[in-house]
Chain A
Amino acid sequence: MELYELSAKEAALGVRTKKFSAVEVTEACLGRADKFEGSVNAVITMTREAALERAREIDRKIARGEDAGLLAGVPYFAKDNFCTRGTRTTCSSKILENWSPTYNASAINYMNNAGAVMMGKTNLDEFAMGSSTENSIIGPTKNPRDLSRVPGGSSGGSAAAVAAGYSPLALGTDTGGSVRQPACFCGVQGMKPSYGQVSRYGILAYASSLDQVSPLARTVEDLAISLEVLARPDPHDTTCDAYDRPSFTAALSLEDLKGKRIGVFEGFESSQMDADLYGALQTAAGYCRDAGASVEPMDLPIAVKYGVATYYVTALADASSKLACYDGIRYGSHLDGPTLNEMYVNTRTACFGEEVRRRIILGTCLLTEGFYQNYYGPALKVRQRMVDEFDELFERFDAYILPTSPSLPYLIGMKETDPNRLYLGDIFTVPISLGGLPGINLSMGFNADGLPLSVQLVGQRYFDAELLGIASVLERVMGKPGVAEPGVKKSTNTHKDEGAK
């Protein structure tokens, strides 16, 4: 087994026990990026030298017998909407093309303090608005499992990096599915924690009430370790809950699902989705039953019917407000104009991409007197009803499963134009975001064409640890996704080896 194939857990263990050095792991991962980046295009900014220096520092620490942290020497990438001090943070937008923050996002600090080695910043749809990572200043990222297809989005760069073995871990942000869906498309594990679990300080916002820092990895255990590192109170973000978190890794000791009540979501027409993915859901239900869970069908009528509309209203309105600070005065790109208003318009029109501009105008409209009363106002109440619906559901279930995406990764350039199908793409992920629930994309191998299959596992808000426990039981049956060989061969099997080489 190659070093780049190791999980974060295995890599950290090996580095700490001096089986291999942090520099060796980092070089192995950099080697993967060197080999495939030309075809995958997952990374906006590589921080090769800083990564190697950081790896050397970790090795020195270990040589001195110091504790190098839970993620000692583990390479990771961060989506390019995390502020990284001194490293340019573009959000895939011309408006921040040359912007280097003067501070680190809290999540970045936590990763670094745990000994992780940041390798660079990954591609995304501009300002995280999109679900294919095609809409970027560096062009589309390709799916390492099939280079002709999109990696999903908006955290497509992070998902692709993990799938292609650039790193065992990556950070993304999930607003309405932006980590779970690319994890599904790229065949890796990805988890959106409960809202309030991880600090949003230093995340370039899309929607304040929805954005959540979310890890991507190739094992559930690595997701748990990531949460161990990331999920903590932060004095810089009062929406990050100040409560004491349980141990996320301790929950992984769950042996089976005896006594667990798992719901299987049936609130959709199977004809509306890909047959293989539908089949995967049924298989997953069987695995739950086999593991001892009681499995019952369930539905969320409000979430299904109103979820996507509520999500659009909420997210677009917020985006129009959060993206108003890009005015060409204090930071970012600037195009002159004879008056203040003309400068604003010149800067924002030239430096925001078409999709972002469209969403900002829409969001502005939704907050305007009259529209607000018919859209934003009702959406706030519908959202509360969705939360109530989830609360009732979790009186009967410990978790439920549903697809992450109704479709397999589609071909690059195949822009969806039918709005109804476009909305359908988010139907399984956005209600979970609106409810602030934890959701995990669990990989389930590949279909006959080598495209990834998966299921989404959802739990009650703040029951992230319990959800990781259930996920780890299922992962033992479903297998862990292996590293893709982009353009070399189709991914066929998940590898089921336990432990390091």
Chain B
Amino acid sequence: MTRQIVIGLEVHLQLLTKTKLFCSCSTDYIGHTPNTNVCPVCLAVPGTLPLLNDGAVALASRMGLGLRCTIQNYSTFGRKNYFYADLAKAYQITQYELPVATKGYLDIECDERTKRVRIHHLHLEEDAGKLVHPTADGRLTGAAYSLVDYNRGGVPLTEVVSEPDISTPEEAKEYVVRLRQLARYLDVSDGEMESGSLRVDANISLSNADGSLGTRVEIKNMNSLKALERALEYEISRQNKVLDSGGRIVQETRLWDDAEGVTRSMRNKETASDYRYYPEMDLAPIVIGDEEIEGYKAGMPELPWEKRERFAKSFGLSGEEVSILTEQKELAAYYEAVAAAGAPTARAANWVRMEVLRVLNELGQDISDFLVKPEALAELVTKIENRELSSTIGKEILDLLAREEMTLDQALERTGARAGRMSGDALGELIRRIMSEQPDVVETIKSGQDKKGAKLKFLQGLVMKEARGQADPKETAGLLSKFFAESTK
């Protein structure tokens, strides 16, 4: 029996603000000395009061608009009360009743069809501090004591809560990928799961035999896309097994153990109904006027799907090409600059998605670090298009440009490609020279023993190498067979 899989995701994104949600401490905590980005407000010193960061409201609104949500003119904060060492006030200020943005959607592509995942809402809340456990493996279990660093405490988060519209682990992954892409396009969050600036909690249930909704299990602690997929797969099979054997699913929170590849029930921790929520009266409600919302709308950059459509239309590119080029907005911008500098769009697209990404990968760089100016790549690609340079030498030049500060001219000089293409008499001369240097090979071919043409290929390779890639392979092959034909007459 196949049970319907129902998945809803809660994605926490750390917002790219300069300061914390309720105080002026810097959000730049990674790698900082513990407890240096702190002040009386985020240490919950008695008497202090939260002061809402305008930048966080702007970024959350922007994300809301990107998800086609309605930005609320009026939203409120509440307190989620629970004791934990990383939570200084012993309550988290969050939005639970009237969030900043509601009812939107995100389209994802899965199995070559578009699926719409509805967004329930998006809200603002503050992050907790970090605990350091002085054990060999850094785990909580077995630690004789723990150390608290409040640098992260109060960093703004936006939580995007989806409707339970997701039906497979792959869709879940794709949803997070698209959400992350959107957040990055909007400069809302850098969305790094590894560093924790993007965190995913999943709610998953399997429908009952009669089609009614099953019991929901929450899964936490998935620190990569792979982990998300694996955890959901594991949980689906676990729940199926439980149900197949006539058991019942317990509503609970389970933690993903990546090393063991299992989810584990999270005991000893308060469950959702034990958190005590109530309105936060130290903060006035967030009032966002219509004119303010219009301002946010006006400031929206081009969204991923808009860019995809435009790229396909203006540059005549295929869906696959467009997807790769627009995956990161920085790469898309780079491609656009190459195209704007006059490069033939199709070949430029090919070069950016194949060669540029290859070099970046080799160098471990981001496109923002890339040394090759779009204008230089445009010129290079144009030369290749015009058959002034071969692709091979083009790649060599790109490698050079990416590794050293130099002009395209200097690179042409360095690779010896300055002279331009080798063809006609010059190429013929070269071929004759190489044939004279390889009498044995020439003899073998002449005697008809080169049945598979390997020897001829070998000669051709030597020619190409000597020509530093400046010879046209077709012309070379043509000339070679012509010379052999002449000599055997």
Same complex origin of A and B: yes
Q: Would you call B279 and A237 a contact (CB within 8 A)?
A: no
In the complex, which of the residues B47, B91, B273 has the most CB atoms of chain A within 10 Å of its own CB atom? B47
**A239-B281, A318-B281, A367-B81 known; A201 vs B48 contact (CB < 8 Å):** yes
Query: Given A364-B276, A372-B276, do A238 and B49 touch, yes or no (CB 8 Å)?
Result: yes
Q: Check if A201 sits within 8 Å of B281, measured CB to CB.
A: no
In the complex with contacts A321-B278, A369-B273, A369-B274, A201-B83 CB distance below 8 A: no
Q: Are B90 and A327 in contact (CB under 8 A)?
A: yes
Q: Which residues of B contact A320 (CB under 8 A)?
A: 81
- Give the nearest-CB partner of A376 in chain B: B278
- Assess the B44–A325 pair: CB atoms within 8 A: yes
A325-B88, A344-B83 known; A105-B47 Cβ under 8 A: yes
CA distance A101 to B45 in the complex (A): 8
What residues of B have a CB within 8 angstroms of the CB of A492 in the complex? none
Say if the beta carbon of A380 comes within 8 Å of chain B.
yes
Q: Are B46 and A239 in contact (CB under 8 A)?
A: no
Chain A residues whose C-beta falls within 8 Å of the C-beta of B81 in the assembled complex: 320-321, 324, 367
Closest chain-B Cβ to A378's Cβ sits at a distance in Å of: 13
**Least CB separation from B44: chain A residue:** A325
A19 cross-chain contacts in B, Cβ below 8 A: none
What is the minimal beta-carbon distance from A16 to any residue of chain B, in angstroms?
32
1/0 per position for B424-466, CB-CB distance to A under 8 A?
0000000000000000000000000000000000000000000
Judge whether A201 and B49 touch: CB under 8 Å.
Answer: yes
A:303-355 near B, CB below 8 Å: 317-318, 320-321, 324-327, 329-331, 340-341, 344
With both beta carbons as reference points, the residue of chain A lying nearest to B79 in the complex is identified as A321
- Closest A residue to B51 by CB, please name it: A238
A83 located at the interface, meaning its Cβ lies under 8 Å from any Cβ of chain B in the complex: yes
Chain A residues lying within 8 Å of B281, measured Cβ to Cβ, are 207-209, 239, 318
B52 neighbours in A (Cβ, 8 Å): 238
Q: Is A29 at the interface (CB under 8 A from chain B)?
A: no
Q: How far is the CA of A242 from the CA of B473 in the complex (A)?
A: 78
Q: Is the CB of A329 within 8 A of B148?
A: yes
CB distance from B157 to the nearest CB of A (A): 20
Nearest CB in chain B to that of A201: its residue: B49
**Which of B40, B46, B280 touches A96 (beta carbons < 8 Å)?**
B46
> Is A340's CB under 8 angstroms from B85's CB?
yes
Q: Is the CB of B85 within 8 A of A329?
A: yes
Interface pair B45/A330, CB less than 8 Å apart: yes
**B283 proximal to A (CB < 8 A):** yes
Contact assessment for B90 and A83 in the assembled complex, using a CB-CB cutoff below 8 Å: no
How many A residues face the partner with a CB closer than 8 A?
44
Q: Which residues between 77 and 119 of chain A lie within 8 Å of chain B, taking CB atoms?
A: 83, 89, 91, 96, 99, 101-103, 105
**Which residues from B are CB-within-8-Å of A326?**
46
Bound: A203/B91 CA distance, A: 18
Using CB atoms, name the residue of chain B closest to A368: B276
Q: How far is the CA of A205 from the CA of B49 in the complex (A)?
A: 10
- From residue B299, how far is it (CB to closest CB) to chain A in Å? 24
Taking CB atoms, residues of chain A closer than 8 Å to B279 are: 380
Interface 0/1 of A208-239, CB less than 8 Å to B: 11000000000000000000000000011111
**In the complex, what's the smallest C-beta–C-beta distance from B354 to chain A, in angstroms?**
54
| A364: B residues at CB distance < 8 A | 276
B486 to chain A, nearest CB (A): 91
Contact B283–A324 (Cβ < 8 Å):
no
Q: Is B43 close to A, CB under 8 A?
A: yes
Compute how far the CA of A212 lies from the CA of B167 in the bound complex, rounded to whole angstroms. Answer: 53
- Give the distance in Å from the alpha carbon of A201 to the alpha carbon of B47 in the complex: 6
The answer to whether A54 has its CB under 8 Å from any CB of chain B is no
Q: Are B47 and A324 in contact (CB under 8 A)?
A: no
Distance in angstroms from B449 CB to nearest chain A CB is 84
6 contacts between A and B (CB under 8 A): A204-B46, A238-B52, A321-B278, A364-B276, A367-B278, A380-B279
Q: Which 5 A-B pairs have the closest CB atoms?
A: A324-B90, A209-B281, A367-B276, A208-B281, A202-B47
| Chain A residues close to B by CB (< 8 Å) | 83, 89, 91, 96, 99, 101-103, 105, 200-205, 207-209, 235-239, 317-318, 320-321, 324-327, 329-331, 340-341, 344, 364, 367-369, 372, 376, 380
Q: Knowing that A236-B51, A237-B49, A368-B274 touch, tell me 8 more A-B residue pairs with CB under 8 angstroms.
A: A102-B40, A200-B49, A321-B91, A324-B90, A324-B91, A331-B46, A341-B83, A364-B276
